Amino acid sequence: MSDCQIARAGLLLRDLAELDHDPAIAPHLATCASCAADVEAIRTATRATAELLGSHSPLGSPAALARTLLDDAVARRERRAGAWRRASLTLAAAAIAAWVLVASERAAPLRSAIGFPDPPYVTTMLLRCVDPGDATRVAQPYLRSRGSSAVPGPGVVPSVTLKGPRAEVAQAEIAIAKIDGQLGAVAPGACPR
């Protein structure tokens, strides 16, 4: 490989500043005008390109750009706060609607229209003559829904506590009241006391 080829190989890959100090290349460049011209051409081209690209400067002033960034940050914060406000209001409205739907008496027709279960209704009936155990058995066929129940009252006051959808509890109340004589005639044999 000739010195020119060695210089050319170095010129293709190496840092240009290194070539002047490379003991294998520098002496040759000092004596070979052609290779020195090649190096100079590459050096000139690289430097000119670097200077050209370095001569461009950004258009925006730092102060204006900073103001834009700060304004953008404020706008983003306000947008976020607005979104939170809207979300909070929506949540509150949903909570109120849910409460009305679940708990309000006036919403009962609506609840039944959309198949939404009524909250369980609980009442305790005082019994005049029917035994609490019997009253419980009378009520049970009417209290068909899940969670419905009839519980005989404890203690000396005969009573039965009914729990379930309002309609079922009402039917059970009527049935017990009929037997217990609370609606007029007492059922035969119903009042041993």
Euclidean distance between CA atoms 160 and 153, whole angstroms: 5
Instruction: Name the residue among 58, 45, 51 with its Cα closest to residue 16.
Output: 45
Q: What does residue 28 show for φ and ψ, rounded to 5 degrees?
A: -70, -40
Binding site for another protein (CB under 8 A): 2-5, 8, 11-14, 16-17, 20, 28, 31-32, 34-35, 38, 41-54, 56-60, 62-63, 65-70, 72-73, 76
In a 10 Å sphere around its CB, with 0-12 CB exposed, 13-18 middle and 19+ buried, how is residue 103 labelled? exposed
Q: What does residue 82 show for φ and ψ, rounded to 5 degrees?
A: -60, -40
Q: Considering beta carbons, is residue 68 or 88 the nearer one to another protein?
A: 68
**In angstroms, what is the minimal distance from the CB of 91 to another protein?**
28
**In angstroms, what is the minimal distance from the CB of 79 to another protein?**
13
Instruction: Name the residue among 141, 166, 163, 142 with its Cα closest to residue 151.
Output: 163
Q: Considering beta carbons, is residue 38 or 118 the nearer one to another protein?
A: 38
Q: Considering beta carbons, is residue 64 or 97 the nearer one to another protein?
A: 64
Residue type for position 130:
V
Q: How many residues does the chain have?
A: 193
- Give the number of other CB atoms < 10 A from CB of residue 158: 19
Q: Considering beta carbons, is residue 15 or 105 the nearer one to another protein?
A: 15
**In angstroms, what is the minimal distance from the CB of 22 to another protein?**
14
Euclidean distance between CA atoms 37 and 10, whole angstroms: 14
**In angstroms, what is the minimal distance from the CB of 26 to another protein?**
13
Q: Considering beta carbons, is residue 63 or 113 the nearer one to another protein?
A: 63
Instruction: Name the residue among 121, 165, 167 with its Cα closest to residue 145.
Output: 165
**In angstroms, what is the minimal distance from the CB of 95 to another protein?**
34
Q: Considering beta carbons, is residue 28 or 163 the nearer one to another protein?
A: 28
**In angstroms, what is the minimal distance from the CB of 23 to another protein?**
16
